[in-house]
Amino acid sequence: MADSFYRPNGAQWALSSPALALFLGLLVVPLALTALLSFSAFHEIHGIQVGHTLGNYLDILSDGYYYELFLRTGAMALGTTAICVLLGVPEAIVLYRMRPMWQGVFFVVILGPLLISVVVRTLGWSILLGREGFINTALMSLGLVDRPLLLMFSMTGVLIALTHVMIPFMIIAVWTSLQKLDGQVEHAARSLGAGPLTTFRRVLLPQLLPGILSGSIIVFTLSASAFATPALIGGRKVKVVTTAIYDEFLTSLDWPLGAAVAVLLLLGILLVVIGSNRFMERKYRQVFA
Amino acid sequence: MSRNIGRNGPLAWLFHGVFTAFIVAPLVVIVLVSFSDKGYISMPFEGASLRWYRAILEAPELVNAFWLSIGLGLGAATVATLVAVPAALAIARYRFIGRDGLTALILSPLMIPHVVLGVAFLRFFSLMGWTGSFVALLLVHALIVVPYSLRLTLAALAGMNLEAELAARSLGASRWTTFRRVLLPLIVPGVAGGWVLAFIQSFDEVTMTIFIATPGTTTLPVALYNRVSLMTDPVTTSVSTVMIVGTVVLMLILDRVVGLDRVLLGKK
C-alpha cells in the first residue's frame, strides 16, 4: 500500500495560492472593512464620518427596537427549526424504509427543490398564502373558515414558507445518521418485547440525535440569515435582522449602523455554530472516537 | 436483512403523501398559473394560453437579466473550479500546518450570512470604485460558489491513493502530465459535478447580489425579486417556470454525471 499523502514541500501552498488570493482579497479584506465601518459615525447630510466610535453599538443596545428585531429573528429561526425536526425526522425515516427505487424518485422530488431559486419557491407560497390565494379559497369553499386567514404578511406565513425552504437540509442530516444505523438493534429491541413507540424513543431516536442536532444547527443559522422569504412573505409586518440591514443600507443609507447590525448578526451566528459544535463534540466524543 | 428497519405502514405512506404535496405545491402552482390567459393570478382551467411566455420576450429587463445570469454563472463556476481543484489537491494530498485553517476559510462562505457578504461587498466595491462592474460581480460569485466545487472535488479525491500517480512519475511523466493524464481523468466526474452545482448556486443567488446589483448588473433572481416585491403579476410565474425547467434539466445532467444522491446527500 502506498501512502496517500505527499511529503509537504511547499507545493501545497503553490496549489492553494489562487484560493488564498481570492479569499484574502475578496472575503477577509471586505469583512474587515465592514467591521471597521461599524465603528464610524454617520451624519445625515455629510454621510460617513472619519474616526472611530462605539456610537452605533450603543445606539443598538439602548434601543428596544433592535432587541425586538433580534428576538423576532431568533423566534423565527427557532420555530422553523422545531417544525423541521417534527416533520423532517419522520419523513427521513419513511424515506429510509422505502424500496430503493422509490427512494431514488422521492429524493429528487423532496431534495430537488434545494436547487431551485428561493425567490421562485417564495413566489409559489405567496400565491398560495394570499388573502384570495388558493389556500384561503379552498378553505372558504369547503366551509372550514368564514373569513380568509391572514397568512401573507404574518409570522405563520413566513414559518410555512421558510420550513419549505429549509426542511431538505434537515432530511439530509437525519439521512446521514440513518446510514450509520444498525437495523439489528431495532429487531433486538422488538424481539425483547419493546413496543414500537418504546423502540423509537429508546433505540432509534438516540442514534439519530447527532443528525438531528447537526441538521438543527444548519436550519437555525440559515433561517436566521434568510432574506428573500421573510422579505416577500413577511413584508414590513414581520421585520427581521436581514430585512432591517437591507433597509439600513439601501433605504435610510446609514451604512455604519447597518454594518453594526450585520456584525452582530454574524457574531450571533458564529456563537451558535461554535457553541453547538462544542456541545456536540463533548456529548458525542465517545460515539465518534 | 440487517439494513432495513421494518416497512412503512399506511399511516407512514399517508404522512409521506401529505409531505410530498407540501413540497411540490408551490412549484406546481407556479407552473399552472403561468399558463393562464387572465391578466391576474389564476388557474388556467378556464382558459389557457402562452401569453405570459410572450410577455417575457416583451420585457427587455427580464431577458437581459437572464443572459447576464447565464454569463455570470458560466464565468463564476469556471473561475471557482480553477481555484478549487488545485486547492482540493493541496488539501487531499498534503498534510501541513494550516491545512484545517485553509479548508475552513474556503468553506466559510457557506456559513457567513449572505446579507453580511452583500453588505461587505457593497462597501468594498464603493471604496474601490468597482460598483457596477461585471468582473467584480463575477469574482465574488466565484468566491461564494468555490465551497461547492471544493467539496465535490475533495469527495472525488477521497479514498484514492497515490499508486497510479507514483507509477506515472517513476515512468518519467512530469507532474503536469501526471495530473492531466492520470489524476484528472479519475476525478473529472466530481469536478464536472462541482462545476454544474457551482453554476446553479451562482445562477440562483439573490441575497448577496441584491446589495451590489446595479441597473447594468441585475441578475435574473434579483430582477424577479424586484418585480415580485412590487406586485405578483403572471409574468413572474412564467419566468419562474423557465427557471424551474432549467433547474430540472441541470439536475438530470448532474444525475448522469455524478449522481444526484452524491451531490445532495454527500454520498461518496
How many domains does chain B fold into? 1
Contacts 24+ apart (CB under 8 A), B18-24: B19/A87, B19/A91, B19/A94, B19/A110, B20/A106, B20/A109, B20/A110, B22/A164, B23/A109, B23/A110, B23/A113, B23/A164, B23/A167, B24/A109
In a domain, residue B30? The reply is no
B256 touches A at CB < 8 Å: no
| Placement of cell 450571533 in the chain | A268
Is there a contact between A91 and A110 (Cβ–Cβ < 8 Å)? yes
Q: Average of pLDDT values for B121-146?
A: 96
In a domain, residue B2? The reply is no
Which residues lie closer than 8 Å to B136 by C-beta, 6 or more apart?
Answer: B125, B128, B130, B212
Nearest CA in chain A to B110: A222
Query: So what's the ipTM on this one?
Result: 0.91
Which of B201, B221, B197, B217 lies closest to B121 in space, CA to CA? Answer: B217
Would you state the pLDDT for residue A198? 85
Which of A49, A22, A288 lies closest to A176 in space, CA to CA? Answer: A288
Would you state the pLDDT for residue A123? 95
Question: B93 vs chain A: nearest CA distance in angstroms?
Answer: 5
pLDDT, one tens digit per residue, over B209-246 is 999 999 999 999 999 999 999 877 899 999 999 999 99
Mutate which of A20, A120, A221, A223 to disrupt the B interface (most B C-beta within 10 Å)?
A120
Instruction: Quote helix, strand, coil % in chain A, to nearest 5.
Output: 75, 0, 25
Would you state the pLDDT for residue B146? 98
Q: Is the pLDDT of residue B4 over 50?
A: no
Using the Cα atoms of residue A136, residue A138, residue A141 and residue A143 in order, give the sign of their dihedral. Answer: negative
Are residues A4 and B86, on separate chains, in Cβ contact within 8 Å?
Answer: no
Chain centroid, CA B117 distance in Å: 17
Whole-model pTM: value is 0.92
Q: Distance between CA atoms of B71 and B75, rounded to whole angstroms?
A: 6
Interface of B with A in 77-106 (CB under 8 A): 82-84, 86-87, 89-91, 93-96, 99, 102, 105-106
Is there a contact between A99 and B16 (Cβ–Cβ < 8 Å)? no
Would you state the pLDDT for residue A2? 45
Query: Which domain covers residue B114, as residue numbers?
Result: 59-265
Q: Distance between CA atoms of B186 and B163, rounded to whole angstroms?
A: 13
B221 touches A at CB < 8 Å: yes
Is there a contact between A107 and B261 (Cβ–Cβ < 8 Å)? yes
Q: Is the pLDDT of residue A83 over 90?
A: yes
C-alpha cell at A224: 436566521
DSSP secondary structure letter of residue A240:
-
Question: B64 vs chain A: nearest CA distance in angstroms?
Answer: 18
Is there a contact between A27 and B108 (Cβ–Cβ < 8 Å)? yes
Would you state the pLDDT for residue B266? 63
Report all structural domains of chain A as residue ranges with CATH numbers, in order of start. Answer: 59-99+111-284 (1.10.3720.10)
CATH of the domain at B105: 1.10.3720.10
Mean pLDDT, rounded, of chain B: 91
Is there a contact between B156 and B94 (Cβ–Cβ < 8 Å)? no
Helix (H, G, I), strand (E, B) or coil at B48: strand
Residue type, position A13, single letter: W
pLDDT, one tens digit per residue, over A193-233 is 888 788 888 888 888 999 999 999 999 999 999 999 999 99
In a domain, residue B27? The reply is no
Partner-chain residue, chosen from A15, A94, A241, that has the shortest CB–CB distance to B90: A15
Taken as a whole, chain A contains a residue count of 289
Would you state the pLDDT for residue A138? 87
